[in-house]
Amino acid sequence: MVKDSILVVEDEAIVAMDLANTLDSLGYEVLSWQKSGEGALEYLTEKQPDLILMDIKLKGEMDGIQAADAIRKQYDLPVIFLTAYSDKETLNRAKHSLPYGYITKSYNVNDLRSTMEMALFKHKMEKKLREQQRLQYELQSRLASIVEYSDDAIISLSMEGVINSWNLAAERMFGYSADEMIGKCFIALTPSFLPDPFPGFLEAMNEGAHHDSFETIRVKKDGSILHVSLMMSPIYTQEGILNGISVIARDITEKRHLETTVLEMSEKERIRIGQDLHDSLGQHLTGILLNMKFLENSLQKDGNPEALILTSQISDLLKEAVQKTRDLAKNLAPPIIETEGIREALKCLVSTVEELYRIKAKLVVDSSHREPDTTIAIQLYRIAQEAVNNAVKHSGASLISVSLIGEKNELILTIKDDGKGLEKKTSSGMGISIMHYRADMIQGDLTVEGKSGKGTTIRCRVPLQGELV
Protein backbone atom coordinates (compact mmCIF):
# COMPACT_ATOMS: atom_id res chain seq x y z
CA MET A 1 0.00 0.00 0.00
CA VAL A 2 1.43 3.40 -1.03
CA LYS A 3 1.90 5.77 1.90
CA ASP A 4 0.67 9.36 1.75
CA SER A 5 3.69 11.67 1.51
CA ILE A 6 4.12 14.70 3.76
CA LEU A 7 6.30 17.83 3.58
CA VAL A 8 7.01 19.47 6.95
CA VAL A 9 7.80 23.20 6.97
CA GLU A 10 8.99 24.16 10.48
CA ASP A 11 11.85 26.40 11.58
CA GLU A 12 12.31 24.72 15.01
CA ALA A 13 14.35 21.54 14.59
CA ILE A 14 13.11 19.79 17.74
CA VAL A 15 9.46 20.35 16.82
CA ALA A 16 10.13 19.20 13.26
CA MET A 17 11.92 16.01 14.34
CA ASP A 18 9.22 15.13 16.86
CA LEU A 19 6.52 15.71 14.24
CA ALA A 20 8.39 13.58 11.69
CA ASN A 21 8.63 10.68 14.16
CA THR A 22 4.94 10.93 14.97
CA LEU A 23 4.01 10.96 11.29
CA ASP A 24 6.19 7.92 10.64
CA SER A 25 4.49 6.05 13.46
CA LEU A 26 1.11 6.91 11.96
CA GLY A 27 2.12 5.37 8.63
CA TYR A 28 2.93 8.49 6.63
CA GLU A 29 6.07 9.09 4.56
CA VAL A 30 7.89 12.31 5.42
CA LEU A 31 9.59 13.46 2.24
CA SER A 32 11.47 16.44 3.63
CA TRP A 33 11.78 19.04 6.36
CA GLN A 34 12.14 22.64 5.24
CA LYS A 35 12.93 25.55 7.58
CA SER A 36 11.46 28.40 5.52
CA GLY A 37 8.71 29.24 3.06
CA GLU A 38 11.33 29.98 0.39
CA GLY A 39 12.90 26.58 0.94
CA ALA A 40 9.54 24.84 0.69
CA LEU A 41 8.77 26.53 -2.65
CA GLU A 42 12.19 25.60 -4.01
CA TYR A 43 11.71 21.97 -2.91
CA LEU A 44 8.31 21.79 -4.62
CA THR A 45 9.90 22.54 -7.98
CA GLU A 46 11.48 19.08 -7.77
CA LYS A 47 8.98 16.97 -5.86
CA GLN A 48 5.45 17.41 -4.62
CA PRO A 49 3.93 15.70 -1.56
CA ASP A 50 0.32 14.73 -0.90
CA LEU A 51 0.07 17.12 2.06
CA ILE A 52 2.06 19.97 3.66
CA LEU A 53 2.26 20.73 7.39
CA MET A 54 3.19 24.42 7.59
CA ASP A 55 4.19 26.47 10.63
CA ILE A 56 2.55 29.89 10.48
CA LYS A 57 5.51 31.72 12.06
CA LEU A 58 8.63 31.07 9.96
CA LYS A 59 11.99 32.77 9.88
CA GLY A 60 12.81 34.66 6.73
CA GLU A 61 10.98 37.18 4.55
CA MET A 62 8.03 34.83 3.87
CA ASP A 63 5.91 33.55 6.73
CA GLY A 64 3.81 30.37 6.59
CA ILE A 65 0.64 32.15 5.49
CA GLN A 66 2.39 33.77 2.52
CA ALA A 67 4.06 30.48 1.62
CA ALA A 68 0.73 28.60 1.81
CA ASP A 69 -0.93 31.19 -0.42
CA ALA A 70 1.85 30.84 -3.03
CA ILE A 71 1.67 27.02 -2.87
CA ARG A 72 -2.12 27.06 -3.35
CA LYS A 73 -1.83 29.27 -6.42
CA GLN A 74 1.09 27.43 -8.04
CA TYR A 75 0.66 23.80 -7.04
CA ASP A 76 -2.84 23.26 -5.66
CA LEU A 77 -1.58 21.22 -2.69
CA PRO A 78 -3.40 20.91 0.65
CA VAL A 79 -1.83 22.79 3.55
CA ILE A 80 -2.48 22.34 7.28
CA PHE A 81 -1.18 25.08 9.54
CA LEU A 82 0.92 24.32 12.63
CA THR A 83 0.73 27.14 15.11
CA ALA A 84 1.28 28.08 18.70
CA TYR A 85 -0.81 31.16 18.03
CA SER A 86 -4.57 31.40 17.97
CA ASP A 87 -5.06 35.15 18.07
CA LYS A 88 -7.85 36.59 15.93
CA GLU A 89 -5.60 38.63 13.60
CA THR A 90 -3.42 35.61 12.74
CA LEU A 91 -6.41 33.37 12.11
CA ASN A 92 -8.06 35.99 9.88
CA ARG A 93 -4.90 36.21 7.78
CA ALA A 94 -4.60 32.43 7.61
CA LYS A 95 -8.20 31.98 6.39
CA HIS A 96 -7.46 33.85 3.15
CA SER A 97 -4.89 31.21 2.10
CA LEU A 98 -7.68 28.58 2.30
CA PRO A 99 -5.90 25.99 4.52
CA TYR A 100 -7.28 22.49 5.03
CA GLY A 101 -7.03 22.71 8.82
CA TYR A 102 -5.22 23.96 11.92
CA ILE A 103 -3.15 22.00 14.45
CA THR A 104 -1.62 23.48 17.55
CA LYS A 105 1.93 22.46 18.39
CA SER A 106 0.61 20.86 21.54
CA TYR A 107 -1.40 18.51 19.39
CA ASN A 108 -3.06 15.26 20.28
CA VAL A 109 -1.97 12.36 18.02
CA ASN A 110 -5.53 11.33 17.26
CA ASP A 111 -6.46 14.92 16.40
CA LEU A 112 -3.42 15.12 14.13
CA ARG A 113 -4.37 11.88 12.33
CA SER A 114 -8.06 12.84 11.85
CA THR A 115 -7.19 16.36 10.66
CA MET A 116 -4.70 15.03 8.12
CA GLU A 117 -7.02 12.26 6.87
CA MET A 118 -9.87 14.75 6.43
CA ALA A 119 -7.55 17.13 4.58
CA LEU A 120 -6.27 14.39 2.26
CA PHE A 121 -9.78 13.10 1.55
CA LYS A 122 -11.17 16.60 0.99
CA HIS A 123 -8.36 17.48 -1.43
CA LYS A 124 -8.82 14.25 -3.43
CA MET A 125 -12.56 14.86 -3.68
CA GLU A 126 -11.99 18.47 -4.74
CA LYS A 127 -9.53 17.37 -7.41
CA LYS A 128 -11.99 14.76 -8.65
CA LEU A 129 -14.81 17.33 -8.67
CA ARG A 130 -12.67 19.86 -10.53
CA GLU A 131 -11.75 17.22 -13.10
CA GLN A 132 -15.42 16.34 -13.56
CA GLN A 133 -16.26 20.03 -13.89
CA ARG A 134 -13.45 20.45 -16.43
CA LEU A 135 -14.68 17.49 -18.49
CA GLN A 136 -18.26 18.71 -18.22
CA TYR A 137 -17.23 22.18 -19.32
CA GLU A 138 -15.28 20.79 -22.27
CA LEU A 139 -18.25 18.62 -23.24
CA GLN A 140 -20.66 21.54 -22.95
CA SER A 141 -18.28 23.72 -24.96
CA ARG A 142 -18.04 21.09 -27.71
CA LEU A 143 -21.81 20.62 -27.76
CA ALA A 144 -22.36 24.38 -27.79
CA SER A 145 -19.91 24.69 -30.67
CA ILE A 146 -21.65 21.90 -32.59
CA VAL A 147 -25.04 23.53 -32.02
CA GLU A 148 -23.84 27.01 -32.88
CA TYR A 149 -21.95 26.12 -36.04
CA SER A 150 -24.15 23.29 -37.32
CA ASP A 151 -25.53 23.56 -40.85
CA ASP A 152 -28.93 22.62 -39.42
CA ALA A 153 -31.09 25.06 -37.49
CA ILE A 154 -31.19 23.91 -33.87
CA ILE A 155 -33.88 25.49 -31.73
CA SER A 156 -35.01 24.77 -28.18
CA LEU A 157 -38.58 25.42 -27.09
CA SER A 158 -40.34 25.67 -23.76
CA MET A 159 -43.36 23.52 -22.99
CA GLU A 160 -45.52 26.40 -24.26
CA GLY A 161 -43.71 26.46 -27.62
CA VAL A 162 -41.70 29.60 -26.80
CA ILE A 163 -38.24 29.76 -28.38
CA ASN A 164 -35.41 29.62 -25.81
CA SER A 165 -32.39 29.25 -28.11
CA TRP A 166 -31.71 30.01 -31.78
CA ASN A 167 -28.39 29.11 -33.43
CA LEU A 168 -26.54 30.73 -36.33
CA ALA A 169 -27.92 28.24 -38.86
CA ALA A 170 -31.46 29.23 -37.79
CA GLU A 171 -30.53 32.86 -38.41
CA ARG A 172 -29.27 32.03 -41.92
CA MET A 173 -32.17 29.71 -42.70
CA PHE A 174 -35.11 31.85 -41.57
CA GLY A 175 -33.58 35.34 -41.76
CA TYR A 176 -34.33 36.23 -38.13
CA SER A 177 -31.63 37.00 -35.56
CA ALA A 178 -31.59 35.29 -32.17
CA ASP A 179 -32.62 38.57 -30.51
CA GLU A 180 -35.67 38.74 -32.78
CA MET A 181 -36.84 35.16 -32.12
CA ILE A 182 -35.97 34.27 -28.52
CA GLY A 183 -39.13 34.73 -26.51
CA LYS A 184 -41.37 34.37 -29.57
CA CYS A 185 -43.64 31.39 -30.25
CA PHE A 186 -42.41 28.78 -32.73
CA ILE A 187 -45.78 28.98 -34.52
CA ALA A 188 -44.64 32.38 -35.85
CA LEU A 189 -42.75 30.41 -38.53
CA THR A 190 -45.85 28.41 -39.57
CA PRO A 191 -47.74 29.69 -42.65
CA SER A 192 -51.19 31.04 -41.82
CA PHE A 193 -52.86 28.45 -44.05
CA LEU A 194 -51.35 25.53 -42.10
CA PRO A 195 -52.61 24.29 -38.72
CA ASP A 196 -50.36 24.59 -35.66
CA PRO A 197 -48.77 21.13 -35.14
CA PHE A 198 -47.20 21.94 -31.76
CA PRO A 199 -50.12 20.96 -29.45
CA GLY A 200 -50.31 17.53 -31.09
CA PHE A 201 -46.57 16.95 -30.73
CA LEU A 202 -46.62 18.08 -27.11
CA GLU A 203 -49.48 15.74 -26.26
CA ALA A 204 -47.75 12.82 -28.00
CA MET A 205 -44.45 13.49 -26.22
CA ASN A 206 -46.20 13.67 -22.86
CA GLU A 207 -47.50 10.19 -23.64
CA GLY A 208 -43.97 9.00 -24.46
CA ALA A 209 -44.49 8.66 -28.21
CA HIS A 210 -41.48 8.73 -30.55
CA HIS A 211 -41.54 11.07 -33.54
CA ASP A 212 -39.66 10.57 -36.78
CA SER A 213 -38.62 13.57 -38.84
CA PHE A 214 -41.24 14.98 -41.16
CA GLU A 215 -41.25 17.39 -44.07
CA THR A 216 -43.26 20.59 -44.04
CA ILE A 217 -43.04 24.28 -44.95
CA ARG A 218 -42.21 27.36 -42.90
CA VAL A 219 -42.15 31.10 -43.60
CA LYS A 220 -38.93 33.13 -43.72
CA LYS A 221 -38.60 36.72 -42.55
CA ASP A 222 -38.98 38.00 -46.12
CA GLY A 223 -42.29 36.10 -46.47
CA SER A 224 -40.96 33.43 -48.81
CA ILE A 225 -41.78 29.76 -48.28
CA LEU A 226 -39.06 27.41 -47.04
CA HIS A 227 -39.27 23.62 -47.36
CA VAL A 228 -37.82 22.00 -44.24
CA SER A 229 -37.38 18.63 -42.60
CA LEU A 230 -38.21 18.90 -38.87
CA MET A 231 -37.12 16.60 -36.07
CA MET A 232 -38.70 17.27 -32.67
CA SER A 233 -37.20 15.60 -29.60
CA PRO A 234 -38.12 15.82 -25.91
CA ILE A 235 -35.83 17.54 -23.38
CA TYR A 236 -35.92 16.04 -19.88
CA THR A 237 -34.65 17.23 -16.50
CA GLN A 238 -32.35 15.06 -14.36
CA GLU A 239 -35.48 13.82 -12.62
CA GLY A 240 -36.91 12.61 -15.94
CA ILE A 241 -39.52 15.38 -16.19
CA LEU A 242 -40.32 16.68 -19.68
CA ASN A 243 -39.55 20.41 -19.66
CA GLY A 244 -38.93 21.36 -23.28
CA ILE A 245 -38.53 20.34 -26.90
CA SER A 246 -35.51 20.38 -29.19
CA VAL A 247 -36.16 21.16 -32.85
CA ILE A 248 -33.69 20.42 -35.65
CA ALA A 249 -34.65 21.96 -38.99
CA ARG A 250 -32.92 21.14 -42.28
CA ASP A 251 -33.46 23.16 -45.44
CA ILE A 252 -34.72 20.77 -48.14
CA THR A 253 -35.95 23.42 -50.59
CA GLU A 254 -33.47 22.39 -53.28
CA LYS A 255 -34.27 18.71 -52.71
CA ARG A 256 -38.00 19.41 -52.92
CA HIS A 257 -37.62 21.41 -56.13
CA LEU A 258 -35.61 18.56 -57.64
CA GLU A 259 -38.25 16.03 -56.56
CA THR A 260 -40.99 18.21 -58.01
CA THR A 261 -39.11 18.45 -61.30
CA VAL A 262 -38.64 14.67 -61.41
CA LEU A 263 -42.31 14.13 -60.58
CA GLU A 264 -43.42 16.56 -63.29
CA MET A 265 -41.14 14.84 -65.80
CA SER A 266 -42.48 11.41 -64.83
CA GLU A 267 -46.04 12.71 -65.14
CA LYS A 268 -45.29 14.05 -68.63
CA GLU A 269 -43.72 10.72 -69.57
CA ARG A 270 -46.73 8.92 -68.18
CA ILE A 271 -49.05 11.07 -70.27
CA ARG A 272 -46.88 10.51 -73.36
CA ILE A 273 -47.01 6.75 -72.88
CA GLY A 274 -50.79 6.94 -72.43
CA GLN A 275 -51.15 8.98 -75.59
CA ASP A 276 -48.91 6.56 -77.51
CA LEU A 277 -51.03 3.66 -76.31
CA HIS A 278 -54.19 5.40 -77.44
CA ASP A 279 -52.93 6.85 -80.72
CA SER A 280 -50.54 4.12 -81.83
CA LEU A 281 -51.20 0.71 -80.27
CA GLY A 282 -54.91 1.37 -79.93
CA GLN A 283 -55.21 2.37 -83.58
CA HIS A 284 -53.20 -0.66 -84.72
CA LEU A 285 -55.40 -3.01 -82.71
CA THR A 286 -58.52 -1.33 -84.10
CA GLY A 287 -57.16 -1.77 -87.64
CA ILE A 288 -56.49 -5.47 -87.00
CA LEU A 289 -60.01 -5.84 -85.60
CA LEU A 290 -61.50 -4.30 -88.75
CA ASN A 291 -59.47 -6.69 -90.90
CA MET A 292 -60.66 -9.60 -88.79
CA LYS A 293 -64.23 -8.48 -89.32
CA PHE A 294 -63.60 -8.42 -93.09
CA LEU A 295 -62.06 -11.90 -92.91
CA GLU A 296 -64.98 -13.13 -90.83
CA ASN A 297 -67.48 -11.92 -93.47
CA SER A 298 -65.47 -13.58 -96.26
CA LEU A 299 -65.35 -16.92 -94.42
CA GLN A 300 -69.10 -16.73 -93.84
CA LYS A 301 -69.68 -16.42 -97.57
CA ASP A 302 -67.32 -19.33 -98.29
CA GLY A 303 -69.15 -21.57 -95.81
CA ASN A 304 -66.17 -22.51 -93.58
CA PRO A 305 -67.72 -22.86 -90.09
CA GLU A 306 -64.55 -23.92 -88.25
CA ALA A 307 -62.53 -20.96 -89.54
CA LEU A 308 -65.50 -18.69 -88.85
CA ILE A 309 -65.58 -19.76 -85.19
CA LEU A 310 -61.83 -19.14 -84.86
CA THR A 311 -61.97 -15.67 -86.41
CA SER A 312 -64.92 -14.79 -84.20
CA GLN A 313 -62.93 -15.74 -81.11
CA ILE A 314 -59.94 -13.72 -82.33
CA SER A 315 -62.24 -10.72 -82.93
CA ASP A 316 -63.58 -10.95 -79.38
CA LEU A 317 -60.04 -11.04 -78.00
CA LEU A 318 -59.10 -8.03 -80.12
CA LYS A 319 -62.16 -6.12 -78.85
CA GLU A 320 -61.07 -6.83 -75.30
CA ALA A 321 -57.48 -5.78 -76.10
CA VAL A 322 -58.69 -2.51 -77.66
CA GLN A 323 -60.84 -1.73 -74.60
CA LYS A 324 -58.02 -2.53 -72.15
CA THR A 325 -55.62 -0.37 -74.17
CA ARG A 326 -58.06 2.53 -74.03
CA ASP A 327 -58.61 2.06 -70.30
CA LEU A 328 -54.87 1.91 -69.67
CA ALA A 329 -54.30 5.04 -71.76
CA LYS A 330 -57.08 6.81 -69.88
CA ASN A 331 -55.54 5.90 -66.50
CA LEU A 332 -52.09 6.97 -67.60
CA ALA A 333 -53.14 10.26 -69.18
CA PRO A 334 -56.44 11.69 -67.97
CA PRO A 335 -56.55 14.78 -70.21
CA ILE A 336 -59.64 16.08 -68.44
CA ILE A 337 -57.63 17.41 -65.43
CA GLU A 338 -55.91 20.20 -67.34
CA THR A 339 -58.98 21.16 -69.35
CA GLU A 340 -61.87 20.67 -66.91
CA GLY A 341 -60.22 20.29 -63.50
CA ILE A 342 -60.04 17.81 -60.64
CA ARG A 343 -63.81 17.56 -60.08
CA GLU A 344 -64.55 16.32 -63.59
CA ALA A 345 -61.58 13.96 -63.43
CA LEU A 346 -62.93 12.42 -60.21
CA LYS A 347 -66.38 12.05 -61.83
CA CYS A 348 -64.79 10.07 -64.67
CA LEU A 349 -62.84 7.95 -62.17
CA VAL A 350 -66.02 7.06 -60.26
CA SER A 351 -67.90 6.30 -63.51
CA THR A 352 -65.08 4.02 -64.65
CA VAL A 353 -65.29 2.04 -61.40
CA GLU A 354 -68.99 1.43 -61.90
CA GLU A 355 -68.70 0.58 -65.62
CA LEU A 356 -65.66 -1.67 -65.51
CA TYR A 357 -65.90 -3.37 -62.13
CA ARG A 358 -69.66 -3.27 -61.47
CA ILE A 359 -69.01 -1.77 -58.01
CA LYS A 360 -71.31 0.97 -56.74
CA ALA A 361 -69.42 4.24 -56.41
CA LYS A 362 -70.53 7.72 -55.38
CA LEU A 363 -68.91 11.14 -55.51
CA VAL A 364 -69.41 14.19 -53.30
CA VAL A 365 -67.73 17.37 -54.56
CA ASP A 366 -67.82 20.82 -53.00
CA SER A 367 -68.03 23.23 -55.92
CA SER A 368 -67.55 26.31 -53.69
CA HIS A 369 -63.79 26.00 -53.42
CA ARG A 370 -61.25 27.40 -55.82
CA GLU A 371 -59.85 24.94 -58.37
CA PRO A 372 -56.33 23.95 -57.20
CA ASP A 373 -53.38 24.41 -59.51
CA THR A 374 -52.50 21.63 -61.93
CA THR A 375 -49.72 20.15 -59.79
CA ILE A 376 -51.99 19.75 -56.75
CA ALA A 377 -54.88 18.53 -58.91
CA ILE A 378 -52.78 15.84 -60.58
CA GLN A 379 -51.36 14.56 -57.28
CA LEU A 380 -54.81 14.47 -55.66
CA TYR A 381 -56.17 12.58 -58.66
CA ARG A 382 -53.29 10.07 -58.50
CA ILE A 383 -53.93 9.54 -54.76
CA ALA A 384 -57.64 8.96 -55.44
CA GLN A 385 -56.79 6.66 -58.34
CA GLU A 386 -54.38 4.57 -56.25
CA ALA A 387 -56.84 4.37 -53.34
CA VAL A 388 -59.73 3.34 -55.61
CA ASN A 389 -57.60 0.72 -57.37
CA ASN A 390 -56.56 -0.72 -53.98
CA ALA A 391 -60.21 -0.88 -52.91
CA VAL A 392 -61.23 -2.61 -56.15
CA LYS A 393 -58.40 -5.16 -56.08
CA HIS A 394 -58.04 -5.95 -52.38
CA SER A 395 -61.01 -4.86 -50.27
CA GLY A 396 -63.93 -6.79 -51.73
CA ALA A 397 -66.00 -3.62 -51.30
CA SER A 398 -69.56 -3.21 -52.56
CA LEU A 399 -69.44 0.60 -52.20
CA ILE A 400 -66.64 3.09 -52.79
CA SER A 401 -67.16 6.75 -51.83
CA VAL A 402 -65.00 9.64 -53.05
CA SER A 403 -65.34 13.20 -51.74
CA LEU A 404 -63.50 16.49 -52.27
CA ILE A 405 -64.48 19.13 -49.72
CA GLY A 406 -63.14 22.61 -48.99
CA GLU A 407 -62.74 23.67 -45.35
CA LYS A 408 -61.25 27.05 -44.45
CA ASN A 409 -57.91 27.13 -46.30
CA GLU A 410 -57.59 23.47 -47.18
CA LEU A 411 -58.91 20.79 -49.50
CA ILE A 412 -59.87 17.41 -48.08
CA LEU A 413 -59.90 14.38 -50.36
CA THR A 414 -61.49 11.27 -48.84
CA ILE A 415 -61.76 7.77 -50.33
CA LYS A 416 -63.79 5.33 -48.27
CA ASP A 417 -64.89 1.75 -48.89
CA ASP A 418 -67.02 -0.80 -47.00
CA GLY A 419 -64.66 -3.71 -47.66
CA LYS A 420 -62.76 -6.04 -45.39
CA GLY A 421 -60.51 -3.34 -43.96
CA LEU A 422 -56.81 -2.65 -44.16
CA GLU A 423 -54.51 -5.55 -43.32
CA LYS A 424 -51.23 -5.00 -41.50
CA LYS A 425 -49.18 -6.29 -44.42
CA THR A 426 -50.76 -3.70 -46.74
CA SER A 427 -50.76 -0.76 -44.31
CA SER A 428 -47.17 0.07 -45.22
CA GLY A 429 -47.10 -1.33 -48.77
CA MET A 430 -45.88 0.30 -51.95
CA GLY A 431 -49.27 1.80 -52.83
CA ILE A 432 -49.65 3.47 -49.41
CA SER A 433 -46.05 4.72 -49.56
CA ILE A 434 -46.63 6.26 -52.99
CA MET A 435 -49.75 8.02 -51.73
CA HIS A 436 -47.82 9.42 -48.76
CA TYR A 437 -45.07 10.60 -51.07
CA ARG A 438 -47.53 12.35 -53.39
CA ALA A 439 -49.20 14.02 -50.40
CA ASP A 440 -45.82 15.24 -49.12
CA MET A 441 -45.06 16.76 -52.52
CA ILE A 442 -48.05 19.10 -52.17
CA GLN A 443 -47.54 19.71 -48.41
CA GLY A 444 -50.51 17.47 -47.70
CA ASP A 445 -51.20 15.27 -44.69
CA LEU A 446 -52.36 11.75 -45.59
CA THR A 447 -53.93 9.40 -43.05
CA VAL A 448 -55.02 5.78 -43.50
CA GLU A 449 -57.58 4.26 -41.16
CA GLY A 450 -59.02 0.78 -41.35
CA LYS A 451 -60.43 -1.98 -39.17
CA SER A 452 -61.02 -5.58 -40.04
CA GLY A 453 -64.48 -5.97 -41.53
CA LYS A 454 -65.24 -2.24 -41.35
CA GLY A 455 -63.62 -0.90 -44.47
CA THR A 456 -60.80 1.59 -45.07
CA THR A 457 -60.72 5.39 -45.13
CA ILE A 458 -57.91 7.31 -46.82
CA ARG A 459 -57.91 11.07 -46.26
CA CYS A 460 -55.56 13.70 -47.68
CA ARG A 461 -55.67 17.28 -46.39
CA VAL A 462 -53.95 19.85 -48.60
CA PRO A 463 -53.39 23.50 -47.59
CA LEU A 464 -54.42 26.18 -50.06
CA GLN A 465 -53.11 29.74 -49.82
CA GLY A 466 -55.71 32.48 -49.95
CA GLU A 467 -59.38 32.38 -49.11
CA LEU A 468 -61.62 29.71 -50.55
CA VAL A 469 -64.23 31.00 -52.95
According to CATH, what is the number of the domain 336-469?
A: 3.30.565.10
Model pTM? 0.56
As a dihedral over the C-alpha atoms of residue 25, residue 22, residue 110, residue 67, rounded to 10 degrees, the angle is: -130
- The predicted pLDDT at position 28 comes to 94
Among 370, 367, 277, 359, which Cα is nearest to 325's? 277
- The predicted pLDDT at position 424 comes to 55
Tell me the DSSP string of 362-431.
EEEE-TTSPPPPHHHHHHHHHHHHHHHHHIIIII--SEEEEEEEEETTEEEEEEEE-SS---GGGTTSHH
- The predicted pLDDT at position 43 comes to 94
- The predicted pLDDT at position 466 comes to 45
**CATH homologous superfamily for the domain 150-251:** PAS domain (3.30.450.20)
pLDDT tens for 379-437 read 899 899 999 988 998 888 999 999 999 887 788 999 999 998 876 545 557 788 888 88
DSSP 8-class letter at 288: H
pLDDT tens for 95-152 read 777 788 888 877 889 989 999 999 999 999 999 998 998 888 888 888 777 777 788 9
Q: Encode burial over 170-208: b for 16+ CB neighbours within 10 A, e otherwise.
A: bbebbebeeeebeeebbeebbbeebeebbeebbeebeee
- The predicted pLDDT at position 469 comes to 29
Please tell me the distance from the alpha carbon of residue 417 to that of residue 47, in angstroms, as a whole number: 87
Residues 6+ apart with CB under 8 A from 255: 227
- The predicted pLDDT at position 31 comes to 93
- CA neighbours within 13 Å on the CB side: how many for 171? 13
- Phi, then psi, of 263 in degrees rounded to 5: -65, -40
- The predicted pLDDT at position 87 comes to 65
Residues of the chain with pLDDT under 70: 1, 85-87, 90, 210, 278, 329-335, 423-428, 465-469
- Fold (CATH) for 5-144: Rossmann fold (3.40.50)
Among 90, 4, 91, 17, which Cα is nearest to 50's? 4
